[in-house]
Structure 1
Amino acid sequence: MWGIMLLSMLAACAKAPQQEGSSLSDDWSAMMAVHDEVMPKMSNIARLKKQLKGDTTARSMVLELTKAEDAMWEWMHNLRHESDVMKMPEPKAKAYVAKELQRIEAVKALMLKSIAEAEAYQPSTIVQ
């Protein structure tokens, strides 16, 4: 959980501010584009966890893959429905979407990092 929070803070600092003239709908679409980019990688995580399961040396990688997987599920579970967000006053809705964009960017970073590390690990004991 601390890793997710740290990545969220780092993503918030590194993320360029959204254009002031962008519409709430555009902001929502940008946020969901990040989700849509990394959601298909959940199958990579499941595959890598299965491959690394019996390798005691790779235990930390399995934990990181699990954290990344859990972070995506948690983000999706906690995300308010688009129609509910669109009913909010616009400043509040834009702030909510901006915050969720930062969160999904952090999830993306966690997922990509854990996948890359697990894919780079190639001991002879990996089950193909």
Structure 2
Amino acid sequence: MKTTPEHNQRIAKMTFASVFPHYTTKIEKKGRTLEELYEVIEWLTGYNKDKLEELIAKKVTFETFFQNATLNPNAELITGVICGYRIEDIQNPITKQVRFLDKLIDELAKGRQMKKILREA
């Protein structure tokens, strides 16, 4: 499935704060912890818990969130389908990075081992 410019714009303008509660609900329902969620997000973006809380309070968009992030060099190892989109086929950088995050959180909720989620050897 190809993303449209409208879809990419909608994703970029969504606030991280509006989605974060959905991430926490998803992982906690499956018995995972907030600490694990913070670890996964920090691995991908470089943002620690304090910085994430600051970004949530500021209600930054995903566009700002990822423009200021230091993306993990192994992020390109995140592949597969999420929300009907094959991650490796997404051309728009912000949409792709949001789908990286979605995929990691999905793996966390599904009980995958942390070292596999974080693409460690």
* TM-score interval (norm. to shorter): 0.3 to 0.5
With normalisation by structure 1, the TM-score equals 0.35
The one of the two structures with greater contact order (alpha-carbon pairs below 8 A, sep at least 6) is: 1
With normalisation by structure 2, the TM-score equals 0.37
Which entry has the higher C-alpha Rg, 1 or 2? Answer: 1
